[in-house]
Amino acid sequence: MKEQPFIRWDWIADHTDEIWARLLEHVQLTALAVGIGLLISLPLAVLAYRRRVFYPPLTWVTGILYTIPSLALFAILVPYTGATSRTTAEIGLVSYTLLILIRNIVAGLDGVAADVKEAARGMGYSPNQLLLRVEIPLALPAIAAGIRIATVTTIGLVTITALLGQGGLGYFILLGLNRVFTTATMLGAVLSALLAILVDRLLILAEQRLTPWSRARAA
């Protein structure tokens, strides 16, 4: 076998279309997982915030889900949802976002000052109005931090879903592994790390736009 250079730039130049397509797949898989995760977490977190007894069991269950290694979780799901299905990948990915999101939403709601809530109640806000117009907006920095961490974690995990035939940047890592081709491995690794850093920055910017009042203490 001919000795290959560590990075073959010509190979990368020849595959720009595919790289772009895999990058988009990666973003789609991540966005879907965090979106569904948020839809599940928000009502559960509000429930745990209002009825405290639900909080320990919720963190316990989602904590166990969070601890189960991804490869094992995918393997357990395969007979139910298929070996090369998007469902298998997404169930795994979503289940890892729950702990982070629920924890941060509850902590954010807890952090809303009591006199602010009191004032809103005094103005005649119903519990739901209070939640939507006062508590959630004020909890936004903590919620946004949760979304940020969940998203960055998911971007890393999506690389493993390549094993389930889901594409994404993990496809290149797997390709590089199978053919001992460092160019592909490095491409997948570097792009997913850059994607994570970029998305992290963008979400911080979005958070600052959404909560102009907290700009003063933004880190």
Partner 1 sequence: MVESARGMIIASLIGDAFTWLQDPGDAFAGGDISQRIVEHLGMVGISVGAALIPALAAGLAIGHTRRAEFVTVTVANLGRAIPSFAILAFFFPITLKLGLGLSNWPAIIALFFLAIPPILTNAYVGVREVDPDVTEAARGMGMSGWQILRRVELPIAGPLIVAGIRTSAVQVVATATLAALVAGGGLGRFIVDGFALNEYEVVLGGAILVALLAIATEVVFSVIEKVVSPGGLRRKTGFAPVYTDMAQTSEVG
**What mask, x for binding partner 1 by CB under 8 A, covers residues 13 to 52?**
----------------------------------------
Q: What whole-number distance in Å separates Cα of residue 1 and Cα of residue 162?
A: 27
Cβ of residue 35: shortest distance to partner 1, in angstroms? 19
Q: Please report whether residue 98 would count as binding partner 1 according to CB under 8 A.
A: no
Cβ of residue 148: shortest distance to partner 1, in angstroms? 9
**Of the two residues 112 and 120, which places its CB atom closer to partner 1 in the complex?**
112
98 touches 37 (CB < 8 A): yes
Cβ of residue 202: shortest distance to partner 1, in angstroms? 14
173 touches 188 (CB < 8 A): yes
* Identified binder of partner 1 from the candidate list 67, 122, 209, 216, rule CB under 8 A: 67
C-beta neighbour count of 175 within 10 angstroms: 16
Q: Please report whether residue 203 would count as binding partner 1 according to CB under 8 A.
A: no
- First CA to last CA across the chain, in angstroms? 52
Cβ of residue 124: shortest distance to partner 1, in angstroms? 29
Q: What whole-number distance in Å separates Cα of residue 136 and Cα of residue 177?
A: 45
Calculate the CA 52 to chain-centre distance. 25
Residue 172's identity, in one-letter code, is F
Q: Please report whether residue 200 would count as binding partner 1 according to CB under 8 A.
A: yes
Cβ of residue 48: shortest distance to partner 1, in angstroms? 11
Q: What whole-number distance in Å separates Cα of residue 7 and Cα of residue 77?
A: 36
* Identified binder of partner 1 from the candidate list 12, 156, 203, 211, rule CB under 8 A: 156
Select from 156, 166, 57, 9 the least CA-distant residue to 97.
156
Collapsing DSSP to helix, strand or coil, 99 comes out as: helix
Residue 164's φ and ψ, nearest 5 degrees, are -95, 15
**Of the two residues 136 and 149, which places its CB atom closer to partner 1 in the complex?**
149
Q: What whole-number distance in Å separates Cα of residue 172 and Cα of residue 189?
A: 8
Q: Please report whether residue 177 would count as binding partner 1 according to CB under 8 A.
A: yes
* Interface residue list for partner 1 (CB under 8 A): 59, 64, 66-73, 75-76, 78-80, 83, 96, 100, 103-104, 106-108, 111, 141-142, 145-146, 149, 152-153, 155-157, 159-160, 163, 170, 173-174, 176-177, 180, 182, 185-186, 188-189, 192-193, 196-197, 200, 219
